[in-house]
């Protein structure tokens, strides 16, 4: 168990994980140091932010039980302390230990000071510093806005004018389910439910702008653990083409050392090494055909959006009278082509 958070997995009877929870516990880190497990990055211009753990007065999440209970207590929180006045300056602190698809994130933020900006927010489904969503509140502008960043270009703002007082803690909730995005401020759904399919999964990070000094605390993420895309594609194709006898994908895991089965209708095969056939399919963009008594198998290359071969897919089907190599390939190709429409790169395949 990592020291930077508490992780609770809810297990179904089928032994599949239905949900998990991460609670970021900033008290686990020394004061005036950046928390482990996160990466400081910059989107736009300027220098990376200065992210440190500081002590601050925080009101309890639940009402006090007695009038004598303290209204606020001092506790460690995450702070962005850089005061770079560059306009297109967006410091990010990205959590590197997990990639999230469907999730609900709850956090509290406080804008502390800033001459040019007083903003705080959450970036999510982060692909890199130039591709992500974010939602943020502005105390100077008195507004709550959602944006999408694609190839470094920011979309038009979505969100209302709303008062967000500086020096006070505010609750922010971000919920992603498929392509539906909800953003709540202090328990109110002030932005209508959004629909966007640009990013299906990615990292989560804390976000500020320009010289905004902002604090974050009491952060948790409830999420559905992700299958890698390779497994998702194989599972979906098996559901769509139920007459398939077998379907498996060979690719290089993240270590990129050995070709292995990364997805299969037979889970016991996962991790098995590929053979010279699958290696040749990838190396030479070739197609292999194999016939047995009652089945035929076609192994085809799978390409990313740039046309690079990133995997080999073995499609096993029932044979029939008059079965030829040509019509077997014709039966298998649409399945692999459909998979290719979802693969942008080899990295996507294994995430």
Read off the pTM: 0.66
**Are 155 and 208 in the same domain?**
yes
Q: For 104-158, how does the pLDDT look when each residue is reduced to its tens digit (9 = 90+)?
A: 999 999 999 999 999 999 999 999 999 999 999 999 999 999 999 999 999 999 9
Q: Could you tell me if 120 and 109 are in contact, meaning their C-beta atoms sit under 8 angstroms apart?
A: yes
Paired strand residues for 219: 24
pLDDT at 256: 62
> For the CA atoms of the chain, what is the radius of gyration?
24
pLDDT at 141: 96
Of the residues 163, 189, 223, the one at which a domain ends? 223
Which CATH number belongs to the domain containing residue 213 in this structure? Answer: 2.60.120.560
Which residue, among 26, 94, 80, has the nearest Cα to 49 in the 3D structure?
A: 80
**Are 173 and 50 in the same domain?**
yes
Question: Which ranges of the chain would DSSP assign to H, the alpha helix?
Answer: 229-240, 276-284, 325-340, 346-349
Does the pLDDT of residue 38 top 50, yes or no?
Answer: yes
What is the extent of the structural domain holding 34?
5-223
**Are 243 and 172 in the same domain?**
no
**Are 45 and 133 in the same domain?**
yes
Q: For 276-292, how does the pLDDT look when each residue is reduced to its tens digit (9 = 90+)?
A: 999 999 999 999 999 98
């Amino acid at each position: 168990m990592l020291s930077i958070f508490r992780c609770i997995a809810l297990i179904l009877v089928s032994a599949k994980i239905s949900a998990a929870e991460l609670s970021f516990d900033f008290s686990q880190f020394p004061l005036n140091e950046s928390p482990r497990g996160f990466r400081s990055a910059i989107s736009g211009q300027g220098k990376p932010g200065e992210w440190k753990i500081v002590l601050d007065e925080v009101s309890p999440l639940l009402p006090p039980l007695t009038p004598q209970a303290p209204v606020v207590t001092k506790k460690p929180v995450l702070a962005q302390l850089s005061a770079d006045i560059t306009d297109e300056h967006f410091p990010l602190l990205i959590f590197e230990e997990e990639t999230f698809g469907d999730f609900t994130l709850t956090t509290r933020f406080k804008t502390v000071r800033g001459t040019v900006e007083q903003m705080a927010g959450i970036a999510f489904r982060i692909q890199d510093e130039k591709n992500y969503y974010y939602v943020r509140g502005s105390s100077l502008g008195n507004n709550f806005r959602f944006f999408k960043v694609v190839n470094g270009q920011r979309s038009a703002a979505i969100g209302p004018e709303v008062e967000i007082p500086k020096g006070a803690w505010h609750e922010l909730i971000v919920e992603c389910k498929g392509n539906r995005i909800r953003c709540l401020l202090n328990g109110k759904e002030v932005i209508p439910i959004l629909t966007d399919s640009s990013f299906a999964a990615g990292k989560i990070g804390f976000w500020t702008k320009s010289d905004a000094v902002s604090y974050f605390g009491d952060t948790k993420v409830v999420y559905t653990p992700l299958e890698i895309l390779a497994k998702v594609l194989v599972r979906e194709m098996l559901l769509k083409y139920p007459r398939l006898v077998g379907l498996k994908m060979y690719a290089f895991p993240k270590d990129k050392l050995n070709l292995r089965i990364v997805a299969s209708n037979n889970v016991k095969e996962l991790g098995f090494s590929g053979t010279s056939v699958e290696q040749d399919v990838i190396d030479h963009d070739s197609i292999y055909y194999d016939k047995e008594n009652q089945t035929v198998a076609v192994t085809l290359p799978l390409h990313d959006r740039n046309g690079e071969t990133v995997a080999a897919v073995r499609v096993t089907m029932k044979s029939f009278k008059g079965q030829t190599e040509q019509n077997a390939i014709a039966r298998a190709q649409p399945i692999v082509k459909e998979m290719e429409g979802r693969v942008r790169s080899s990295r996507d395949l294994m995430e």
